[in-house]
């Protein structure tokens, strides 16, 4: 049962929960004026057994690993209204010293992208999504303040702070919906291609970005062809300092039993993995040289009030002590330029870095 409280008390409670090591998640849905706090009433780690369960799910990138659930019946839930202008935050471009540009990291990522392009050409794979992890010191900033800043800066994102003592602390602001289900209908999106948001009314996209996004759209449409789909035309979607190409896809369910089928068909999508999926995923697991864990997995409400809203875990960070590990990636096609791909990860990293300093 939801209890309405003031937003400041949620932020204070988050700091208390982290101090005591209590499992919780707090989140704000895109363009919503309400923030939810879900506190698990014990420290047990529950795995998702099936998609008929109710609660908040946190799933890893590797779909062969178990997803975690905060079961609804084990949690206390409260909510608070919020104004986007509460802190009057602005998003200024981060200075290079804050970007922490690392020549060694750039060399490593460019090498990985070159290897990925070779893989695409040799194996006739159309796309692979390659990522990197960047760890930076964040000092004494309160974790609740990071969450607050993300809410203020990115009203169109799903913003969340998730903690379990057996999992760790994750904070993010993702622009991408995996699946949204209400009654017998569902919505998903094909989101791919990136460029900096320079405030232009007319945005031009290159062939590489258009192809990259079309691969994602084609995959989803083919996977869900039996669900009476309606597919929008591609449009430009704003995500903070970045722009992406987006196609909205709606469909119909004949029963709630199809939710698991939908998720298994979609996750991980070519937007975070590649296409063909299994070949791309195998290359990622063998060559990225770090484990993605929950980056590029999904998270969100499952069967709460007979609705499910799940989001791809992008633009996220994992915090350990006074260090934050940022996870940043991009889609690679045979026409990718390794230097440009590095710059794209730098732009994407600003989403998180701008609220850390």
- Asked if residue 111 has pLDDT above 70, the reply is yes
What is the rounded CA–CA span in Å between residue 295 and residue 129?
A: 12
Task: Give the least confident one: 69-83, 95-109, 292-306, 336-350.
Answer: 95-109
**Could you report the per-residue pLDDT of 180-221, keeping only the tens digit for each?**
999 889 999 999 988 988 878 789 999 989 999 999 999 999
**82-101 average pLDDT score:** 50
Residue 151 DSSP SS3:
helix
State the pLDDT at residue 202. 85
State the pLDDT at residue 94. 47
What is the rounded CA–CA span in Å between residue 248 and residue 239?
A: 15
Burial of 322 (0-12, 13-18, 19+ CB in 10 A): exposed
What is the rounded CA–CA span in Å between residue 110 and residue 132?
A: 11
Confidence of residue 157 (pLDDT cuts 50, 70, 90): very high
State the pLDDT at residue 5. 73
User: In terms of pLDDT, which residue wins out, 3 or 330?
Assistant: 330
Domains and CATH numbers, the chain: 3-353 (3.60.120.10)
Confidence of residue 84 (pLDDT cuts 50, 70, 90): low
Helix-then-strand count for the chain, H and E? 8, 20
**Could you report the per-residue pLDDT of 238-267, keeping only the tens digit for each?**
887 789 999 999 999 987 778 899 999 999
What is the rounded CA–CA span in Å between residue 71 and residue 56?
A: 7
What is the rounded CA–CA span in Å between residue 220 and residue 340?
A: 27
**Could you report the per-residue pLDDT of 335-356, keeping only the tens digit for each?**
999 999 999 999 999 889 989 9
Average pLDDT, the chain: 91
Angle at 273 between CA 23 and CA 208, to 5 degrees: 130
- What's 21's DSSP letter? T
State the pLDDT at residue 6. 87
**β pairing state of 307-312 and 316-320:** unpaired
What is the rounded CA–CA span in Å between residue 261 and residue 224?
A: 10
State the pLDDT at residue 307. 94
- Asked if residue 3 has pLDDT above 70, the reply is no
**138-153 average pLDDT score:** 94
**Could you report the per-residue pLDDT of 293-311, keeping only the tens digit for each?**
999 999 999 999 989 999 9
Torsion of CA 270, 275, 279, 281, to 10 degrees: -10
State the pLDDT at residue 1. 45
Distance of alpha carbon 59 from the chain centroid: 11
Residue 352 DSSP SS3:
helix
Q: pTM higher than 0.85, yes or no? A: yes
Place of tokens 């031009």: 204
- Asked if residue 170 has pLDDT above 90, the reply is yes
- Asked if residue 2 has pLDDT above 60, the reply is no
State the pLDDT at residue 99. 46
């Amino acid at each position: 049962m939801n209890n309405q409280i003031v937003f400041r008390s949620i932020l204070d409670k988050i700091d208390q929960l982290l101090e005591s090591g209590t499992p919780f998640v707090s989140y704000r849905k895109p363009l919503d004026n309400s923030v939810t706090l879900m506190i698990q009433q014990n420290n047990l780690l529950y795995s998702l057994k099936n998609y008929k369960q109710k609660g908040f799910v946190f799933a890893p990138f590797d779909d062969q690993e178990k997803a975690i659930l905060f079961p609804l019946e084990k949690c206390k839930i409260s909510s608070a209204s919020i104004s986007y202008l509460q802190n009057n935050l602005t998003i200024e471009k981060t200075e290079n010293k804050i970007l922490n540009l690392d020549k060694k990291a750039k060399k490593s990522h460019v090498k990985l992208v070159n290897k990925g392009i070779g893989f695409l050409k040799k194996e006739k794979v159309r796309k692979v999504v390659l990522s990197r992890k960047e760890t930076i010191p964040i000092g004494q900033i309160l974790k609740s303040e990071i969450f607050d800043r993300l809410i203020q800066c990115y009203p169109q994102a799903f913003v969340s702070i998730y903690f379990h003592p057996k999992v760790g602390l994750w904070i993010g602001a993702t622009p991408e919906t995996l699946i949204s289900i209400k009654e017998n209908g569902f919505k998903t999106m094909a989101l791919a291609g990136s460029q900096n948001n320079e405030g232009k009314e007319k945005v031009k996209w290159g062939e590489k970005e258009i192809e990259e996004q079309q691969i994602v759209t084609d995959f989803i449409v083919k996977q869900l062809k039996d669900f009476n789909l309606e597919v929008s035309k591609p449009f430009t979607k704003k995500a903070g300092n970045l722009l992406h190409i987006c196609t909205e896809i709606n469909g119909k369910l004949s029963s709630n039993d199809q939710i698991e089928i939908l998720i298994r068909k979609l996750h991980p999508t070519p937007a975070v993995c590649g296409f063909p999926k299994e070949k791309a995923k195998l290359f990622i697991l063998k060559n990225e040289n770090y484990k993605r864990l929950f980056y590029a997995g999904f998270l969100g409400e499952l069967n709460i009030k007979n609705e499910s809203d799940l989001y791809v875990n992008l633009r996220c960070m994992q915090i350990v002590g006074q260090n934050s590990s940022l996870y940043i990636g991009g889609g690679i096609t045979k026409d990718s330029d390794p230097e440009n791909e590095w710059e794209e990860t730098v732009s994407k990293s600003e989403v998180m870095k701008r609220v850390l300093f």
